[in-house]
Chains A and B, each alone.
Chain A
Amino acid sequence: MAVPAPVLTMTGIGKQFPGVRALDEVDLRLLPGEVHALMGENGAGKSTLIKVLTGVYPADTGTIELNQAPVAFGSPLEAQQAGISTVYQEVNLCTNLSVAENILLGREPRKRGRIDWKRMRARAGELLSRLELSLDVSAPLSSYSLAIQQMVAIARAIDIDARVLILDEPTSSLDADEVRQLFRVMRRLKEEGIAILFVSHFLDQIYEISDRMTILRNGRLVGEYLTRELPQVELVAKMIGQELAVLERLHGTAKVFDRPLVEARELGRTGAIEPFSLTIHEGEVVGLAGLLGSGRTEIARLLFGADHASTGEIAIGGTPQSLRTPRVAMSHKIAFCSENRKADGLIPDLTVRENIILALQATRGWTRPVPREQQDDLVERYIKALKISPPNPEHLVRDLSGGNQQKVLLARWLILEPRLLILDEPTRGIDVGAKTEIQRLVAELSDGGMAVLFISAELEEVLRLSHKVEVLRDRRLVADLPNDERLTTDVLMETIASGGRAS
């Protein structure tokens, strides 16, 4: 099959942010009439690449060619005028305006300086019929479902004579029927010769709709593949990055777990995670494996009371409990080191000392301050034990490096001496040294009887630490695997890719 000339070619794109190389020599080409999937884990550089393409960020190096002519977009508006339209994950529309207004906002047909409503409605209807939709275009957008709103956003995008349509996770909040509807529209646009760049965390959807894919990892290009030629297992391996060296497992002897600490029965939350059952025993390290967006964090948040479960129940030490707030979970000695330490973890304005004692202080209430001597004592001990650097407790926590911030967060929960410690991506974005230290600490803690729920995108790490591994895919817990000799990263990847159907 002859490959037509690409509509858009990005070559050698590089982008440097302070302290991070977000993109390094990345190439991307989009062919007309094709759905092209952009794949990669979180932080792989997908959104940065899209932002460079649409003119949100300037590229540091590399060139962009549209129809063989070099272009450089200074703003999203310029990119739009050149025919590159983007529909974002969160629908960027005004739900209180009508469908027609939303589609043609800023480009309303005018007659003698005033908006020509009749022509506006007709034009909006035309655009929607191109997507095989017939809606009442004068009804407010809020009267339609999220999926329809998504279509309206697409209708708005293709009105600008789009040659490239970027769909950034359009399906993440849609149900199965709505996704089918969206895919029908995408196929139709494809037939019209539009090049579609599609981002999604759902592998099934990628395989259903895309023709070609480009995979990124850590800001670098892994390669471009035809979807039908790349099995799911290989895709997962390429996204995660296989490390060849097999590390020794930290747990030598098999322990017997007979004292269940936390039992979740059919626990679930609509739109976040399908009902799942999970038992965590004392001293057990349970690993959660799965791609980003597969529901790992959602499970952690339910077990910590950060979100409310819509179904199922949870028992702690054999008695049913209702974890209404994090505070209640904390009273049952459950601790949660969140994945996003900037947004959900640290208090940037406070010092290292204050951040470390915060949870302990919270449990005591404001009237009983932790005595200063005890504070200094605890903080000094954990700064030493976790090798937090700089070892100055009065340093503002926002000035610390990522790894040290992570250790501060860990210290905050360790001084509470929890029975279940939930670690959500504790080693992401930190250097190798700190990573091994944290892994070793987890092993030690579990040997001391603490149960740990360990979430990580790095399968090696999950395998190395866990006694059993729970596999998640598309917001469903699909497999429960004991960690023995037969379990390897390949088996795990196979399970993630197949959704547990094979095993």
Chain B
Amino acid sequence: MKRLLWPAVVLALLLVLNVFFTPSFFSIEVKDGHLYGSLIDILRFGAPLILVSLGMTLVIATGGIDLSVGSVVAISGALACLQISEDASVFTAVALALGLCLVLGAWNGFLVAGIGIQPIIATLILMVAGRGLAQLITDGQIITVNSPAYKVIGGGYWLTVPFGILIVIGVLAISAFLTRRLALGMLIESVGSNAEASRLAGIRARGIIIMVYAFAALCAGVAGLMISSNVSSADGNNAGLWIELDAILAVVIGGTSLAGGRFSLSGTVLGALIIQTLTTTIYSIGVPPETTLLFKALVVTAVCLIQSPSFRAKVFRGRGRAKPSSAAPEQKVKVTA
């Protein structure tokens, strides 16, 4: 896949950069029957972002956007922790939380496809209201739970592998199956690429769009369980704060156009990993904390520019200008300069 080349190169560069500062960066060892290492940490801590980004990919492919995923992350963790603190079984708590997320996602989809509100506005509603809902659930407090079973979701291991990574692999496999083995992916791309032509080809866009938003919320819900389980508490104010922006970024870095149409799940995974690696890198190379956000922004800008064919063409042409053909009209040179 040619369009995955640049994200892969960037990720490799970031990883190599880390080796200079942390020589043991690539080493993975087994301690107490668990895998340990920087790479494992990147995967483990990046798991929630990967999940949210997967859902976001499908939403963006339909030509939409979902700003509410961060709030859904908070709601899911809050409801699960509340249930567990009230002595419900972990299974019930998880089922209830994910069920609510599905409903919220379907609501987003209904606003977009049923009523016809622009996606950015429709999901902005839940972005704001959802935070409030999460705070209502937690009563404005941080709910702390002590449940070893719940802890497994974000902090546990299975066959030496962190459980979160397994969940990501599972969700990735399911989405790949639904979109690429079944026909969902093609219909999503069709709707996102040309909605009117899709309607005239007989595609029922409404159901597809509602489903996609519900799926995005479900992914965010699982991510919320992971995050709250990892710290054994739910914080309605801060859980998943701004994760929607990182997710959108991951999708774009992964090569899916914000205009909708063609999408790439593996590209999105690469994009999310780039963002997570960047965060890790900032800590490991010792960027002063007050400049981390700026540093991150610079790297992301560079990544986006590198991916743009027209930018690459310009830079390339700029270097080759020493010996341009004499036929090139002078005016054109002026324009590019």
Binding site for B on A (CB under 8 A): 304, 306, 325-327, 330, 336, 338, 343-350, 354, 358-359, 361-370, 412
Q: Which residues of B contact A366 (CB under 8 A)?
A: 182-184, 187, 208
B181, B192, B199: most-surrounded residue (chain A CB, <10 A):
B199
Having A338-B200, A362-B201, A366-B183, one finds 6 other A-B pairs with CB under 8 Å, namely A330-B202, A343-B196, A344-B196, A347-B197, A347-B198, A362-B198
Task: State whether B190 touches A358 (Cβ < 8 A).
Answer: yes
Given B181, B183, B196, which contacts A364 in the complex, CB threshold below 8 Å?
A: B183
Which chain A residue shows the least CB distance to B205? A362
Which chain A residue shows the least CB distance to B182? A369
Contact indicator per residue, chain B 169-190, by CB within 8 Å of chain A (1) or not (0): 0000000000001111011011
A-B interface, 8 closest residue pairs, ranked by CB to CB distance from nearest: A349-B261, A349-B193, A362-B202, A369-B183, A366-B184, A362-B203, A366-B183, A327-B202
Given A343, A361, A363, A370, which contacts B197 in the complex, CB threshold below 8 Å?
A: A343
Q: Which residues of A contact B182 (CB under 8 A)?
A: 366-369
B189, B190, B192, B262: most-surrounded residue (chain A CB, <10 A):
B190
Task: State whether A412 touches B193 (Cβ < 8 A).
Answer: no
Which chain B residue shows the least CB distance to A396? B262
Task: State whether B194 touches A347 (Cβ < 8 A).
Answer: yes
CB distance from A32 to the nearest CB of B (A): 38
Task: State whether A347 touches B187 (Cβ < 8 A).
Answer: no
CB distance from A399 to the nearest CB of B (A): 14
Q: Which residues of A contact B198 (CB under 8 A)?
A: 347, 358, 362
13 contacts between A and B (CB under 8 A): A325-B199, A326-B202, A338-B197, A343-B194, A343-B196, A346-B197, A349-B192, A350-B190, A361-B186, A362-B198, A362-B202, A366-B183, A370-B183
Given A344, A354, A370, which contacts B200 in the complex, CB threshold below 8 Å?
A: A344
Chain B 227-262 interface residues, beta-carbon cutoff 8 Å to A = 261-262
Q: Which residues of A contact B314 (CB under 8 A)?
A: none
Task: State whether A347 touches B190 (Cβ < 8 A).
Answer: yes
Q: Which residues of B contact A330 (CB under 8 A)?
A: 202
Task: State whether A348 touches B194 (Cβ < 8 A).
Answer: yes
Task: State whether B189 touches A359 (Cβ < 8 A).
Answer: no
Q: Which residues of B contact A336 (CB under 8 A)?
A: 200
Report how many residues on chain B are interfacial, defined by Cβ distance under 8 Å: 23
CB distance from B214 to the nearest CB of A (A): 14
A358 to B185 alpha-carbon distance, docked (Å): 12
Which chain B residue shows the least CB distance to A331? B202
Chain B 278-301 interface residues, beta-carbon cutoff 8 Å to A = none
Q: Is B317 an interface residue (CB 8 A)?
A: no
A354 to B261 alpha-carbon distance, docked (Å): 13
A343 to B197 alpha-carbon distance, docked (Å): 7
Q: Given A350-B193, A366-B184, A370-B183, A358 and B261 touching (CB < 8 A)?
A: no
CB distance from A17 to the nearest CB of B (A): 19
Given A304, A327, A363, A369, which contacts B181 in the complex, CB threshold below 8 Å?
A: A369
A325 to B261 alpha-carbon distance, docked (Å): 23
A348 to B190 alpha-carbon distance, docked (Å): 9
Q: Is B312 an interface residue (CB 8 A)?
A: no
A348, A349, A367: most-surrounded residue (chain B CB, <10 A):
A349
Contact indicator per residue, chain B 29-45, by CB within 8 Å of chain A (1) or not (0): 00000000000000000
Task: State whether A359 touches B201 (Cβ < 8 A).
Answer: yes
Q: Is B3 an interface residue (CB 8 A)?
A: no
A362 to B187 alpha-carbon distance, docked (Å): 8
Chain B 62-118 interface residues, beta-carbon cutoff 8 Å to A = none
CB distance from A355 to the nearest CB of B (A): 9
Task: State whether B183 touches A361 (Cβ < 8 A).
Answer: yes
Q: Which residues of A contact B187 (CB under 8 A)?
A: 361-362, 366
Q: Given A326-B202, A358-B203, A362-B203, A345 and B197 touching (CB < 8 A)?
A: yes
CB distance from B212 to the nearest CB of A (A): 11
Task: State whether A348 touches B183 (Cβ < 8 A).
Answer: no
A366 to B185 alpha-carbon distance, docked (Å): 8
CB distance from B195 to the nearest CB of A (A): 10
Q: Which residues of B contact A304 (CB under 8 A)?
A: 200
B187, B197, B203, B208: most-surrounded residue (chain A CB, <10 A):
B197
Q: Which residues of A contact B208 (CB under 8 A)?
A: 366
Q: Which residues of A contact B183 (CB under 8 A)?
A: 361, 364-370
A140 to B200 alpha-carbon distance, docked (Å): 37
Q: Which residues of B contact A363 (CB under 8 A)?
A: 202
A306 to B200 alpha-carbon distance, docked (Å): 7
Task: State whether B189 touches A350 (Cβ < 8 A).
Answer: yes
Given B184, B193, B204, which contacts A327 in the complex, CB threshold below 8 Å?
A: B204
CB distance from A455 to the nearest CB of B (A): 15
Task: State whether B186 touches A326 (Cβ < 8 A).
Answer: no
CB distance from A290 to the nearest CB of B (A): 22
A362 to B202 alpha-carbon distance, docked (Å): 6
A306 to B199 alpha-carbon distance, docked (Å): 8
Task: State whether A354 touches B186 (Cβ < 8 A).
Answer: yes
A321 to B312 alpha-carbon distance, docked (Å): 56
A460 to B182 alpha-carbon distance, docked (Å): 46
Which chain B residue shows the least CB distance to A361? B183
Task: State whether B186 touches A346 (Cβ < 8 A).
Answer: no
A343 to B199 alpha-carbon distance, docked (Å): 11
A368 to B182 alpha-carbon distance, docked (Å): 7
Task: State whether B189 touches A326 (Cβ < 8 A).
Answer: no
Task: State whether A358 touches B186 (Cβ < 8 A).
Answer: yes
Q: Given A343-B196, A366-B208, A369-B181, A350 and B201 touching (CB < 8 A)?
A: no
A326, A336, A347: most-surrounded residue (chain B CB, <10 A):
A347
Given B199, B261, B262, which contacts A326 in the complex, CB threshold below 8 Å?
A: B199
A499 to B200 alpha-carbon distance, docked (Å): 32
A361 to B201 alpha-carbon distance, docked (Å): 9
Q: Which residues of A contact B186 (CB under 8 A)?
A: 350, 354, 358, 361
Task: State whether A412 touches B194 (Cβ < 8 A).
Answer: no
A174 to B261 alpha-carbon distance, docked (Å): 38
CB distance from A234 to the nearest CB of B (A): 38
A365 to B184 alpha-carbon distance, docked (Å): 8
Q: Which residues of A contact B204 (CB under 8 A)?
A: 327, 362, 365
Task: State whether A348 touches B193 (Cβ < 8 A).
Answer: yes
A350 to B194 alpha-carbon distance, docked (Å): 10
Which chain A residue shows the least CB distance to B186? A354
Given B181, B192, B201, which contacts A412 in the complex, CB threshold below 8 Å?
A: B201
CB distance from B183 to the nearest CB of A (A): 4
Task: State whether B200 touches A346 (Cβ < 8 A).
Answer: no
CB distance from B23 to the nearest CB of A (A): 45
Q: Which residues of B contact A367 (CB under 8 A)?
A: 182-183
Q: Which residues of B contact A364 (CB under 8 A)?
A: 183
